[in-house]
Amino acid sequence: MALKGQIAVVTGASRGIGRGLALQLGQAGATVYVTGREPEHSDAATDNYLPSLEKAAREITDCGGKGIAAYVDHSNMEEVKHFFERIERDYNGQLDILVNNAFSAAKAIVESENKKFYECPPEMGTKSTT
């Protein structure tokens, strides 16, 4: 339990790499906020077989950490602000580990008409935690 008492945030953690990293942090004893968009706003909204954010949080808790699901659209700065205010309330702003994994290829393509595609992912990842 090397990370017991540590607070982590893993964005885009409902599946894939983000989910795997969140589970590893949980196995090490961390409290892990797993974030993702509401299912109806997700690129994978029609893929009912995909794992959910709540399931990821439960699995983190089951393996020794504390999983906390938080629906956040990281391209929406107001939602991001409210999310970090929640951490401020819950843990006096303690944040030890941040994994910026959120990415929405479909949204990036649609909303970045005048940008090069490679400009979008870092923008979402870095701006979403400011």
Query: Could you list the mean pLDDT of each consecutive 10-residue stretch along the chain, which spans 130 residues?
Result: 95 90 97 85 51 90 96 89 96 96 62 57 48
pTM of the full structure: 0.77
Residue 17 confidence (pLDDT) = 92
Residue 105 confidence (pLDDT) = 56
3-state secondary structure 55-91: HHHHHHHHCCCEEEEEECCCCCHHHHHHHHHHHHHHH
Residue 94 confidence (pLDDT) = 97
All structural domains of the chain: 7-127 (3.40.50.720)
Tokens found for residue 107: 């949204």
Residue 14 confidence (pLDDT) = 86
Tokens found for residue 62: 């089951």
